[in-house]
Amino acid sequence: MKFDVELVAEKYWVKRLIADDIIAIVIIVVILQNVLNIQPVFIRSSPSDTSPTGWSFDTMMQSAKCIWRKCCVFFNVLKPIYVDKGAYKVLNSLSEAISLLSEVNVDNAVEIFVVDRWDPIWDGCGASFSSGTANAKIVTCDEQLKVPDPNNPGSYLGAVNVNHLAHELGHVMSLDHPGVVVISPMTASGTPNTVMEPSGFYADNPHQQSMHNCNNVASPLFRLSLTWVATRCIRNPEIV
């Protein structure tokens, strides 16, 4: 198996230890990696609500971590915040989604609002807002993992949109859909057949990653984190 290793920043300390005619060389490598704080926001009718939204979040977040780790991007998930307004469990319009966004503002983090469903279905039942900026936010829904069957009312297709959150986080990090002509120098179109490919609501986004995507991610919310473990930052996307 072949890996392309890219060290974002590196510094070596070499010290010769001489004892009994044995020379040892000690090398310590410091790696800088991008970390993005994630603030999950779930909806409940009250603190005593036994069925708040957000049950799909961990599964979608785990997929996002696996996909973006291929680009040496890591996510620091903060403790969930709850909005006690049950009416937001089901969003009925884009304007209602925008209203929900104003409920929580956390500095230095991407807020991810999880509702039960977005009805009627709009833009894959999820979207990113203010992408590529310090105000970036995401709205998604638990129905990503329990998609209604359009041909059989009352039935579901199963957990088909596992990569939805990874796709929206790509938008947060300044990537657009493949083939989109971008005007701003701060954004870039994604690679075809990767996670940045749009899917709609009845088919998952691809899990593949590309070197082009990795080289073009950017966010003012990135913070640099030091690690001594080089293997945590090995870029190995499937598409060069």
Note the pLDDT of residue 201: 83
2 falls in which pLDDT band (50, 70, 90)? very low
Domain ranges in the chain?
34-224
60 neighbors 166 (Cβ within 8 angstroms): yes
Q: How confident is the model at residue 32, as a pLDDT?
A: 66
- Amino acid, single-letter form, for residue 156: Y
Average pLDDT, the chain: 85
pLDDT of residue 225: 74
User: Would you say 64 and 166 are in contact if contact means Cβ atoms under 8 Å apart?
Assistant: yes
Q: Kindly indicate the confidence band of residue 224, based on its pLDDT and cuts at 50, 70 and 90.
A: confident
Residue 18 binned pLDDT confidence (cut-offs 50, 70, 90)? very low
Count Cα neighbours of 94 within 13 Å in the Cβ-side half-sphere: 6
Pairing of strands 175-176, 188-189: parallel
Q: pTM of the predicted model, to two decimals?
A: 0.84
Cis peptide before 120 (omega within 30 of 0): yes
CA-nearest of 194, 188, 192 to 178 is 192
What is the CATH code for 34-224? Answer: 3.40.390
List pLDDT tens digits, range 22-61.
555 554 555 668 899 999 999 999 999 999 999 999 999 9
> Residue 199: pLDDT above 90?
no
In this predicted structure, which of 69-78, 127-136, 180-189, 226-235 has the lowest mean pLDDT?
A: 226-235
